[in-house]
């Protein structure tokens, strides 16, 4: 493992960082001119040191045992995916290392570095998991914000990758002693109290924290981030080849009783656990993978933008009345976005997507990350704006069809199409100009980051 990856792994284990900070104070007379700038300007400068690119959703999971892979996973495919994940982690680690180095310079810049570092943390799985032992960053992160809650208050955007129903493991052979002071233990119990669980369920939570699953730790993390605005939550079913009967470690000194065998958790109960912590947030934007049906129990009246993955089986479609009630923008990720080739034909999800539309009463903007899903579902009459990325000629034909069949009561006023860059210059749009004008819909066509053409109605003066 490279030095950058090692530093990234220890990003949220700050005990060593605190102990290594310079002890000597610098007098004002000898302070560099940079340190005389206001904190706001220093934070703006430090933003340029942050990781340039986030870890993509497909790069948050690493390699697993060869015998765990699907038959269609060729050696070439695994190698390419591993290289992509490694490069994404390396790039992210470089930015983190720079901020950690800044934090070590002096007390003044430490707070500036933390402000940037904790604003948008990412907690992926290890890049190489072929030994079958998971080393999640979640317990480290939870321990840090339990001991230093002011750092949790800095988090605005969080990305997490989880294995469903898997107990948290620690670094094999490493010194991973959790804080066992009464203060930290009490803080964890206070977080559980905040989940507003029935008394019998609260006792079960505290008992299970002696050997928690990643979902439980994630739920406690979410409940500890008062200013969180955006959450990316990715989950995957646990590979059947992994032996997960032995639990290693506990959370902040919660006493382990009875057997070391972790409790049997189902996918449904894990999602319920996640919804408990999510319900305590006031997030505006939520990005979800598949296998998270039931998460709507969180309610989330503050949520306005929802992004869902429809490239796999079991997409998120179950929304109870009153949940996610203020979602105004829905973004759909289709099968063209999956580089692994294990995509699910989108037509299989058509009815599910239309059902989802009907459960979001405030929905006004639909965005498709590929042109494929757009042509396979009926657009509700209350939608005002449609955005289609990675569009092809079939997308244009679909846009023309929508305009020609648009009823008078339809609220649709704007269609934004992003033409695929590898398709060359967009075709002539004369064929659909008439339908756009007749339907009184403004169409904007984008190509390679620039506006290529706009078809709109010019009101007579």
Write down the pLDDT at residue 440.
67
Quote the CA–CA distance of 304 and 402 in Å, as a whole number: 25
pLDDT by position in tens, the chain (length 461): 544 444 444 444 443 333 333 444 444 455 577 777 777 787 777 777 777 678 888 888 876 654 454 444 555 566 676 777 778 888 888 888 888 888 888 887 888 888 888 999 999 887 766 554 546 788 889 988 888 999 999 999 999 999 888 877 644 433 444 454 555 667 777 888 877 777 877 777 777 777 788 898 999 999 999 999 999 999 988 776 665 544 545 555 554 444 444 444 567 788 988 998 999 999 999 999 988 988 998 999 999 999 999 887 888 888 988 899 999 999 998 754 444 444 455 556 778 888 899 999 999 999 988 766 556 678 888 999 989 888 777 777 777 777 677 766 688 888 888 887 666 666 655 455 555 555 667 777 777 777 776 766 544 33
DSSP assignment string, 288-319: E-SS-TTGGGG--TT--EEEEE-SSSS-S---
- Check if the beta carbon of residue 138 is closer than 8 Å to that of residue 123: yes
Quote the CA–CA distance of 99 and 8 in Å, as a whole number: 11
Backbone φ, ψ for residue 330 (5° rounding): -120, 125
Residue 275 structure tokens: 């919804």
- Check if the beta carbon of residue 360 is closer than 8 Å to that of residue 319: yes
For 420, half-sphere exposure in the C-beta direction (CA atoms, 13 angstrom radius) is 14
Strands 157-163 and 285-288: unpaired
For 333, half-sphere exposure in the C-beta direction (CA atoms, 13 angstrom radius) is 19
Terminal Cα-to-Cα distance of the chain (whole angstroms):
68
Write down the pLDDT at residue 323.
92
Write down the pLDDT at residue 78.
63
Among 445, 391, 387, residue whose Cα is nearest residue 420? 391
Write down the pLDDT at residue 268.
77
Quote the CA–CA distance of 373 and 395 in Å, as a whole number: 10
Helical spans, DSSP H, in 209-254: 214-223
Quote the CA–CA distance of 188 and 43 in Å, as a whole number: 31
Residue 301 structure tokens: 């009246």
Write down the pLDDT at residue 285.
98
Instruction: Catalogue the long-range contacts made by 216-220 (C-beta closer than 8 Å, 24 or more residues apart).
Output: 216/273, 217/136, 217/138, 217/139, 217/142, 217/168, 217/251, 218/138, 218/160, 218/162, 218/274, 218/277, 219/195, 219/273, 219/274, 219/276, 219/277, 219/278, 220/142, 220/188, 220/191, 220/192, 220/251, 220/277
Residue 246 structure tokens: 């032995």
Residue 349, number of CB atoms within 10 A of its CB:
25
How far is residue 250 from each of residues 27, 146, 179, 223, 241, measured CA to CA in Å? Answer: 44, 14, 10, 18, 24
What pairs with residue 367 in β-bridges?
Answer: 331, 387
Write down the pLDDT at residue 363.
96
Residue 93, helix vs strand vs coil: helix
Write down the pLDDT at residue 175.
41
Quote the CA–CA distance of 255 and 245 in Å, as a whole number: 18
Write down the pLDDT at residue 428.
54
Backbone φ, ψ for residue 154 (5° rounding): -85, -20
Write down the pLDDT at residue 13.
47
Quote the CA–CA distance of 364 and 387 in Å, as a whole number: 11
Residue 148, helix vs strand vs coil: coil
Helical spans, DSSP H, in 27-154: 39-46, 75-103, 107-117, 138-147, 149-152
Residue 74, helix vs strand vs coil: coil
Write down the pLDDT at residue 5.
45
Residue 393, number of CB atoms within 10 A of its CB:
13
Write down the pLDDT at residue 67.
44
Write down the pLDDT at residue 76.
55
């Amino acid at each position: 493992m490279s030095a950058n990856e090692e530093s990234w792994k220890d990003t949220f284990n700050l005990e060593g960082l605190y102990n290594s900070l310079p002890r000597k104070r610098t007098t004002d007379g000898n302070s560099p001119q940079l340190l005389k700038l206001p904190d706001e300007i220093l934070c703006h400068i430090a933003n340029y040191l942050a990781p340039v690119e986030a870890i993509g959703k497909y790069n948050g999971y690493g390699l697993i045992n060869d015998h765990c892979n699907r038959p269609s996973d060729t050696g070439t495919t695994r190698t390419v995916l591993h290289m992509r994940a490694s490069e994404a982690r390396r790039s992210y680690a470089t930015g983190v290392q720079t901020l950690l180095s800044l934090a070590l310079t002096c007390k003044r810049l430490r707070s500036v570095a933390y402000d940037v570092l904790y604003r948008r943390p990412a907690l992926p799985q290890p890049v190489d998991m072929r030994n079958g032992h998971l080393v999640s960053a979640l317990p480290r992160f939870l321990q840090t914000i339990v001991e230093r809650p002011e750092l949790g208050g800095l988090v605005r955007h969080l990305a997490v990758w989880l294995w469903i129903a898997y107990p948290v493991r620690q670094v094999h052979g490493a010194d991973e002693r959790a804080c066992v002071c009464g203060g930290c233990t009490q803080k964890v119990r206070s977080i559980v109290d905040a989940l507003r669980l029935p008394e019998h369920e609260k006792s079960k939570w505290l008992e299970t924290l002696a050997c928690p699953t990643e979902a439980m730790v994630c739920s406690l993390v979410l409940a500890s981030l008062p200013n969180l605005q955006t959450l990316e939550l990715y989950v995957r079913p646990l590979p059947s080849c992994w032996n997960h009967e032995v639990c290693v470690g506990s959370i902040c000194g919660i006493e382990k009783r009875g057997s070391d065998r972790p409790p049997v958790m189902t996918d449904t109960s894990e999602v319920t656990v996640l919804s408990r912590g999510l319900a305590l947030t006031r997030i505006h934007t939520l990005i979800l993978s598949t296998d998270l049906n039931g998460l709507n129990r969180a309610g989330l009246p503050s949520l306005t933008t929802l992004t869902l993955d429809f490239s796999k089986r079991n997409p998120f479609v179950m929304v109870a009345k009153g949940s996610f009630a203020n979602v105004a923008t829905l973004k759909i990720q289709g099968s063209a976005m999956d580089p692994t080739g294990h995509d699910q034909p989108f037509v299989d999800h058509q009815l599910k997507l239309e059902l989802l539309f009907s459960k979001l009463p405030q929905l006004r903007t639909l965005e498709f990350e590929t042109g494929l899903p757009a042509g396979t579902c009926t657009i509700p009459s209350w939608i005002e704006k449609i955005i289609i990325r990675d569009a092809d000629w079939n997308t244009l034909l679909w846009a023309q069809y929508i305009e020609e069949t648009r009823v008078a009561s339809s609220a649709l006023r704007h269609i934004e199409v992003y033409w695929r860059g590898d398709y060359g210059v967009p075709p002539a749009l004369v064929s659909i100009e008439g339908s756009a004008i007749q339907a009184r819909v403004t169409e904007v066509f984008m190509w390679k980051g620039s506006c290529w053409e706009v078809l709109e109605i010019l009101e007579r003066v």
